[in-house]
Amino acid sequence: MTEIIQIGTAITVEPTQRMADVTGTAQLIALWLHGKSAQSQKTYEKDVRYFAAFLLAQHSDQVRLNDLDLRTVTLNDLQAYSNFMETKGLASASRKRRLCSIKSLLGFGHEIKYLHYNVGLKLATPKPKDTLAERILNELEVATMIALTTQPRDRLLLKFLYTTAARVGEIELLKWKDIRPNRDGKGQVTLFGKGDKTRVVIIPVGLYQELIKFGGSVDSSLPVFVSRQKGEALKARQIENIVSNAAKRAGIQGKVSPHWLRHSHASHGLDRGSPPQLVQQTLGHSSLATTSKYAHAKPNESSSLYVMPV
């Protein structure tokens, strides 16, 4: 791309300086994702692959990212992709996330002067329907899910998800070294969340003792919840299946996911009198002020102490 600069009566043509050398879409994506967590990189790249698969009429697993030339993408393409996802019955929240990923990539490409225009700027994204109330289990449902799960690992996983409000990605990364004694017999767990943010959550005495008994003298660098077949950390799909199967045993309708237990933690904690700021802190919805980092390095309060004992 060039810029035309007029000096007096003379006109000169100079190249517009890019902020980075980019040879194709794959390299642009690598620059865009640099510094993001491994889980975020995986999610964002998958979103781009779905878009590329639509434009190139290929399966997302077969797409070569450099075959997609983002410099030729138009607003028409983006709107057509949005309509395509809607006709496929994709949930509005999923459609919004995929489109926001593409908009972010296009915005980044324009910012570093790889793209002449940011065509994503004018793309409207779906407004997801608020279904939060539908995804909150009552205390009896949570207790029944746990009671009817007899496999020790799965039972402990359900308790941990509900009590700590951990996300699936945080469970995948959880290692024994992240769980430590706190005080008064309680434990604490350091969870590594979205955007490389960490938070510390108190583990009530009973659950902490169960965890210690379950882990025994295992190597602290090993994952807490492992697959029985391969001995590796449980993957997201496996965690989702454990929760889904527990919900079916309990006779709960709907596609219950691990995130439902997180929503339930927040609702039950507030219902039982937990201060809202503790729920916010436990769920990691916002960063803590600098001065509060010291107080929470070894916390003694958490909304995990307010929810139903399991």
Q: How far apart are CA 43 and CA 98, in angstroms?
A: 9
Q: How far apart are CA 55 and CA 81, in angstroms?
A: 8
Assign domain 133-305 to a CATH class: mainly alpha
- E strands, the chain, are 2-7, 10-15, 179-181, 187-192, 198-203
Supply the residues annotated as catalytic: 167, 194, 259, 262, 285, 294
The full set of domain ranges for the chain reads 2-122, 133-305
What pTM was computed for the model?
0.64
For domain 2-122, is the CATH number 1.10.10.10?
no
Cβ-proximal residues to 279 (8 Å cutoff; 6+ apart), any chain = 265, 266, 269, 270, 303
Beta bridge partners of 11: 6
Return per-residue pLDDT of the chain as tens, 310 residues. 445 444 444 444 444 566 778 888 999 999 999 988 787 888 899 999 999 999 998 787 778 899 999 999 999 999 999 999 999 988 888 899 999 999 999 999 999 999 999 999 999 888 766 555 657 889 999 999 999 999 999 999 999 999 999 999 999 999 999 999 987 889 999 998 776 788 899 999 999 999 999 987 788 899 999 998 888 999 999 999 999 999 999 999 888 999 999 988 888 888 888 888 888 888 887 643 322 322 333 456 677 777 788 8
